[in-house]
């Protein structure tokens, strides 16, 4: 399914009709662009504005939109099926009359996601268009609308594609545009379930409304990570990149980079200008990624939170892992650890491979950064992606793919249905 869409997309994108005059695109570059768009990663091997004409950009927008909405629908569907709203009996019922229920559920969810997405993107597009036009960034209202709409969609789906040619460098002092983009990025990356529950909360005006554990964990982790990222960039760069900047520039660069590393992929500056520890910090942030059931990739905020909580619980000697006065199910703890550790193995081996493919043409910083960016489907880049060899590009395509559909799904793909028949005797071993 995903493969087919990626192939069709890359076929369409390869048609010269959609290119700027004189542009020739290799197969691997088209595939890379298609996967990057469909997985809303935003890593690019070619400059979007210089490669695609207006029709090409339209196709790209559609691919991004399909990718984004597909993810949100799927995520929301998972949330509803295993979510809190459905008690055990209701779930039972659903299993008996599966087809009808699932279908009507899916249709309703699709409707909801569609309307939500359109609404948020429209508001974003209007704000960006007006600002672009009235602040005189573009010469005609038509252009303002073109740029405004594209970047609103690119921001809300966290695709991070830009058609300015240099991401948001032009707006490094335009805090209005930055704010709009940040809000769009966060709304997309925080997870649709969170939006749904917040919407319900507002609608019901009920003091007794209880947010689900999932929403609490993911939102708290999301916010804490944003703060840590901001503080981290600030502390590490205060004597370096930020040294000669004003207080609001310091705040803006720190916060924007923290947000964009979560999953966005836009940038208001050249990340290569940061020092190595900052780049490494941003890499770890990208690997952690966004919320589950969002447009984001990586290991996801909940995974990271549960791993941390389990370590703390273990240190405290608690037999159960807790958060917000709830016990976390042992299966979820195991899942988190499986995701976390397989992610580490994947990232580390990818770094070694990419580093070996590139035969030391690029620094380890930048290799770690691009691998993290692909796995986290973030799309930030230190600028080396377009210079990579074909083998490296294939590796990044695979990483974007895995980061997108999630490691758990990849692992489950290999799962066979047969149950364990022989139960072996147990034996203890010494750990650590």
User: Using CB under 5 A, which residues numbered 159 to 188 contact K ion?
Assistant: 160
Check residue 140 for interaction with its own copies (CB under 8 A).
no
Please return the burial class of 21, using the count of CB atoms within 10 Å of its CB with bins 0-12, 13-18 and 19+: exposed
**Cα separation of 401 and 248, whole Å?**
37
243-282: contacts with K ion (CB under 5 A): 265
What's the CA gap between 82 and 11, in Å, rounded? 37
The site map against its own copies for 35-64 (x = CB under 8 A) is: ------------------------------
Query: Quick check: 158 binds K ion (CB under 5 A)?
Result: yes
**Is 124 an interacting residue with respect to K ion (CB under 5 A)?**
no
Rounded to a whole number of angstroms, the minimum distance from the CB of residue 48 to its own copies is: 30
**Whole-angstrom Cα distance, residue 124 to residue 183?**
9
H/E segment holding residue 308: helix 301-316
Candidate segments 14-22, 327-335, 378-386, 391-399, binder of K ion by CB under 5 A? 378-386
Nearest distance in Å: CB 106, its own copies: 17
- The residue within the footprint of its own copies, chosen from 96, 202, 243, 420 (CB under 8 A), is 420
Asked whether position 217 contacts its own copies by CB under 8 A, the answer is yes
Of residues 38 and 307, the one with the C-beta less far from its own copies: 307
To the nearest whole angstrom, how small is the minimum distance from the Cβ of residue 283 to its own copies?
9
For tokens 């890499």, the residue is 283
Task: Find the residue with minimal CB distance to K ion.
Answer: 265
Single residue of 166, 318, 387, 390 touching its own copies by CB under 8 A: 318
Where does this chain touch its own copies (CB under 8 A) — which range of 39-47, 141-149, 155-163, 416-424? 416-424
Minimum distance of K ion from residue 316's CB (angstroms): 32
Size of the site for its own copies (CB under 8 A): 93
Distance CA 57, CA 366 (A): 28
Query: Using CB atoms within 10 A of its CB, is residue 272 exposed (0-12), middle (13-18) or buried (19+)?
Result: middle
Neighbours of 53 (CB within 10 A): 14
User: Which x/- pattern over 246-285 shows residues binding its own copies (rule: CB under 8 A)?
Assistant: -----------------------------xxx--xx--x-
Structure tokens at 137: 């960034």
**Which of its own copies, K ion, none has residue 22 at its interface (CB below 5 to 8 Å by kind)?**
none
229 vs 379, beta carbon nearer K ion: 379
Q: Is 423 helix (H, G, I), strand (E, B) or coil?
A: coil
Residues within window 7-66 making contact with K ion, judged by CB under 5 A: 42
Q: Does 224 bind its own copies (CB under 8 A)?
A: no
Member of 92, 204, 248, 326 binding its own copies (CB under 8 A): 326
Work out how close the CB of 177 gets to its own copies at its nearest, in angstroms, rounded to a whole number.
31
Instruction: Identify any residues that bridge with 19 across adjacent strands, giving them in sequence order.
Output: 52
Size of the site for K ion (CB under 5 A): 5
Query: Residue 320 interacts with its own copies (CB under 8 A)?
Result: yes
> Contact between 334 and its own copies (CB under 8 A)?
yes
| For its own copies, the closer CB: 203 or 416 | 416
If one asks whether residue 338 binds its own copies (CB under 8 A), the answer comes out as: yes
195 binds its own copies (CB under 8 A): no
φ and ψ at 228, to 5 degrees? -60, -45
Q: Does 148 bind K ion (CB under 5 A)?
A: no
Under 8 Å between Cβ of 253 and 268? yes
Length of the chain: 432
Tell me how far CA of residue 103 lies from CA of 49, 74, 294, 312, 409, in angstroms: 40, 13, 21, 42, 22
DSSP 271: G
Contact (CB, 8 A) for 293 and 302: no
Distance in angstroms (rounded) separating the CA atoms of residues 73 and 64: 14
Contact status: 14 vs its own copies (CB under 8 A): no
d(Cα 404, Cα 328) in Å, to the nearest integer?
Answer: 25
- What gap in Å lies between CA 177 and CA 172, rounded to an integer? 9
Task: By CB under 5 A, name the binding residues for K ion.
Answer: 42, 158, 160, 265, 379
């Amino acid at each position: 399914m995903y493969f087919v869409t990626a192939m069709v997309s890359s076929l369409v994108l390869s048609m010269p009709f959609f290119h700027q005059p004189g542009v020739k695109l290799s197969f691997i570059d088209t595939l890379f662009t298609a996967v990057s768009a469909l997985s809303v990663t935003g890593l690019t091997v070619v400059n979007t504005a210089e490669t695609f004409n207006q029709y090409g950009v339209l196709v790209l927008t559609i691919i991004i939109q399909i990718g984004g909405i597909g993810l949100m629908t799927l995520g929301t569907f998972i949330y509803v099926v295993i979510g809190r709203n459905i008690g055990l009996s209701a779930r039972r019922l659903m299993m008996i009359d599966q087809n009808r229920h699932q279908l009507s559920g899916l249709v309703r969810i699709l409707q909801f996601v569609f309307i939500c997405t359109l609404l948020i993107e429209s508001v974003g597009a209007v704000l960006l268009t007006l600002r672009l036009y009235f602040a005189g960034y573009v010469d005609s209202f038509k252009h303002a609308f073109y740029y405004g709409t594209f970047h609103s969609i690119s921001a809300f789906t966290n695709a991070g594609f830009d058609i300015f040619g240099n991401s948001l460098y032009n707006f490094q002092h335009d805090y209005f545009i930055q704010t709009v983009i940040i809000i769009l990025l966060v709304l997309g990356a925080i997870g649709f379930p969170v939006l749904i529950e917040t919407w319900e909360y507002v609608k019901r005006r009920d003091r007794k409304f209880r947010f689900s554990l999932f929403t609490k964990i993911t939102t708290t982790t999301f916010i804490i990570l944003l703060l840590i990222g901001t503080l981290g960039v600030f502390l590490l760069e205060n004597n370096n990149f930020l040294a000669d900047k004003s207080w609001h520039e310091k705040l803006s660069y720190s916060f924007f980079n923290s947000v964009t590393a979560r999953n966005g992929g836009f940038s208001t500056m050249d990340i290569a200008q940061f020092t190595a520890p900052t780049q490494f910090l941003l890499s770890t942030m990208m690997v952690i990624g966004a919320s589950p059931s969002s447009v984001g990739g990586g290991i996801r905020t909940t995974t990271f939170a549960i791993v941390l909580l389990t370590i703390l619980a273990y240190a405290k000697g608690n037999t159960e892992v807790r958060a917000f006065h709830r016990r976390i199910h042992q299966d979820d703890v195991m899942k988190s650890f499986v995701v976390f550790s397989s992610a580490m193995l994947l990232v580390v081996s990818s770094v070694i491979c990419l580093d070996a493919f590139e035969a030391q043409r690029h620094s380890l910083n930048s290799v770690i950064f691009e691998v993290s960016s692909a796995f986290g489907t973030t799309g930030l880049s230190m600028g080396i992606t377009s210079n990579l060899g074909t083998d490296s590009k294939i590796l990044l395509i695979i990483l974007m793919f895995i980061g997108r559909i999630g490691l758990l799904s990849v692992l489950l793909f290999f799962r066979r249905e047969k149950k364990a028949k022989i139960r072996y005797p147990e034996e203890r071993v010494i750990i650590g």
